[in-house]
Structure 1
């Protein structure tokens, strides 16, 4: 069954939430006032004025008024999409009704905000019937004000076992004439409430990582043509941990992640993009070490690997507790197993252009050569590897380029920063390759 999508974005890197009303402040809207004026890499792809968990229950009515006033004033200039988060709960009809009333208030064209709002985020959903209830409220809101059905997208936060199971029902349910679930946009993990629902515990009291949930959400999004987003990373000072989480997510096909602070927004906006420069990695044990490049050579500076020359063709290689006596060819072979190259944006574009030219000339596959000079303990060794490129390899390489093209198309406010990062020539070629 084909599903008509109501949005253009193929990727979302950042899902940034802001409290809609802060208690005890002269201006309760100060947090969303500040967020609405973010630009460039500091501005998220999706901004979520959060009228649920981030806002005290006693302040939520005021929070709705703040959403309306701030979005009416700044929404036209905000470079990302705007999706306020409403209250909802699969087991509480009064909470669902409150969220519905808030949606009606925000979507009223007389208030001047809805023309800048792309949709709403619905938390605490349950089984697929609960998703349909939310969808029906969207349809009622649209019909109440003469908006096109499906013009307000719906994103849900997967925070329960019921919601996780519902991911498997989406493909069959979307597109049925009895619902408007085609309006779905983001599937967002909410590991905190999910842990509570699942009664998950760890010895330290920290959240379980729930890799299964992230896999299932990514799979559900892929099957239904939606976009998957990981939940919040609470340790806002652990930038390296945040990066590692994003790397792990991308291996699952989940590009986007929740951002709690503007600094996390910058990290999440830049981390998924292809690197500015290429680098060689050396694996020592379970650790991948990025080699320092100096004068065209890639230098290892560490204690986990050592290399010495015994005579002209005999080398002594120590990796952890393992020792090897190798001739030069054997050493090259061993180092090739221990190394990997991380291509830059320029490298990826070069390879894709070369394959496109070969394909135009009638070739179905070509070999791409990658070489480097490694330096370990002052000993230099040249390595070289060939990788066969065919159509499947080309399409796989297209994923990071497609992300870049999507960003470039939808985030014109980031053009200058992207050109500063890669150079105007590389940016221009990257926007053209694959088209």
Structure 2
């Protein structure tokens, strides 16, 4: 079941929009604005949100608005469209209301269903509850003579029972009594999860819930789904949002909830390799990007100090002082520094390995070298990395993401060409094929 069952292999952005707002001349105004987003401002998955983002007394109108707006503009929207409907593991009434909204949105007479890719189901519980949602979607498909499984189902993990249910997916998917193969996204909802877990922090801030994110990423990998992190509420903290995305990417969770078009842009770009490669150094617990000056990587901070004393060097990192020979200093700097490759660098390395493999070599050494300057003292460093087939496949992940983006988001072609150049884009689309 590890194989992806949907066309999208990756989802970077999960963008929610209220479906109806009272007091406005047009209650669907925000839907009409969101469906016009293009390029890097447009999400991979757009979620007209007929649950938390929409007041309870506006949700019937919200379902009608979704159908109307998607019928009018859905053909041109570059991402997938997955409305979120109401649902709750403990409330049959709420589940039935969500079912009614799905029937409204998917009714072919309303003209939207051809551009509806699936539904997002919040507040799910144990695996039997997931099956109830799946069964309702199956009924919708049969009601309107749609192909069974044509509407994807994404769930939001907002309870301990839902988290435990993820561990049962592999044994349940594929059974004759369900259509759980329709599962697409597993989305963390840390706010309600915190409430369900009765968690308390001194400041009232949300816990990081790293274990939840890891468990969701693992379950998505095992079940052929895609993992998405929950919302990052501080919309002005771009650096914090970027750091969260970077941490998620390291555990295989490439998608994140986006609350604003600005967050969409950041989340669309962050998982992709950078335009230019750069060096970093670990400076007393902080990763610092070095500044390139005439081919030399310069450290300008005050957490590291370096002084040459005759044939030896005194290296200070925070409160630690080291007396080192030149050879020992080189080893220390190799350990402290790292290179973040650009897309061009990654493609170069992959092309080199492909050529070596074609020539019959199973492994080759790749050398990375530079000169580091600290307090005006320059030291040449270099390191070798052995590339074999496993390394190649691991490095294929960011390229595979790029290829998936390029194939599924033609509206971002110009942005990607501007970011990387036409030549790099063309070569990136060729490697691994």
**Does the 8 Å CA contact 1:3/1:182 hold for their aligned counterparts?**
no
Tell me if 1:367 matches 2:352. Answer: no
How far apart, in 1, do the equivalents of 2:29 and 2:3 lie? 38
Match of 1:275 in 2: 274
**Does the 8 Å CA contact 1:6/1:153 hold for their aligned counterparts?**
no
**Does the 8 Å CA contact 2:190/2:230 hold for their aligned counterparts?**
yes
Spell out the pairing of 1:388-399 with structure 2 (5 A cutoff). Answer: 388-399=386-397
**Does the 8 Å CA contact 2:5/2:224 hold for their aligned counterparts?**
no
Match of 1:73 in 2: 72
Tell me if 1:167 matches 2:129. Answer: no
How far apart, in 2, do the equivalents of 1:405 and 1:44 lie? 16
How far apart, in 1, do the equivalents of 2:127 and 2:395 lie? 35
Tell me if 1:343 matches 2:359. Answer: no
How far apart, in 1, do the equivalents of 2:312 and 2:138 lie? 75
**Does the 8 Å CA contact 1:187/1:217 hold for their aligned counterparts?**
yes
Match of 1:422 in 2: 420
Match of 1:99 in 2: 98
Match of 2:398 among 397, 400, 421: 400
How far apart, in 2, do the equivalents of 1:54 and 1:367 lie? 53
- CA shift for structure 1 position 5: 5.7
SS at match of 1:347: helix
How far apart, in 2, do the equivalents of 1:318 and 1:146 lie? 71
- CA shift for structure 1 position 138: 0.6
How far apart, in 2, do the equivalents of 1:337 and 1:304 lie? 16
Q: 1:399 to 1:6 in 2, by over 3 A?
A: closer
**Does the 8 Å CA contact 1:275/1:345 hold for their aligned counterparts?**
yes
Match of 1:62 in 2: 61
Match of 2:319 in 1: 321
- CA shift for structure 1 position 314: 2.0
Any stretches of 5+ residues in structure 1 without a counterpart?
A: none
The number of aligned residues is: 433
Match of 2:35 in 1: 36
Match of 1:191 in 2: 190
**Higher mean C-alpha displacement, 323-332 vs 135-144:** 323-332
Tell me if 1:330 matches 2:328. Answer: yes
Any stretches of 5+ residues in structure 2 without a counterpart?
A: none
**Does the 8 Å CA contact 1:307/1:376 hold for their aligned counterparts?**
yes
Deviations 1:293-343 (A, max 9, x none): 1211111000000111222x3222111111122222121111111111111
How far apart, in 1, do the equivalents of 2:33 and 2:58 lie? 18
- CA shift for structure 1 position 27: 1.0
**Cα RMSD after superposing both structures:** 1.0
How far apart, in 2, do the equivalents of 1:101 and 1:324 lie? 70
Moved over 4 A (4+): 2-6
SS at match of 1:326: strand
**Does the 8 Å CA contact 2:5/2:225 hold for their aligned counterparts?**
no
How far apart, in 2, do the equivalents of 1:365 and 1:419 lie? 32
How far apart, in 2, do the equivalents of 1:241 and 1:334 lie? 30
Match of 2:238 in 1: 239
Tell me if 1:355 matches 2:353. Answer: yes
How far apart, in 2, do the equivalents of 1:340 and 1:3 lie? 32
Q: 1:148 to 1:279 in 2, by over 3 A?
A: same
SS at match of 1:75: helix
Spell out the pairing of 1:194-209 with structure 2 (5 A cutoff). Answer: 194-209=193-208
How far apart, in 2, do the equivalents of 1:24 and 1:378 lie? 64
How far apart, in 1, do the equivalents of 2:381 and 2:325 lie? 14
**Does the 8 Å CA contact 1:160/1:197 hold for their aligned counterparts?**
yes
How far apart, in 2, do the equivalents of 1:5 and 1:116 lie? 21
Match of 1:410 in 2: 408
Tell me if 1:9 matches 2:5. Answer: no
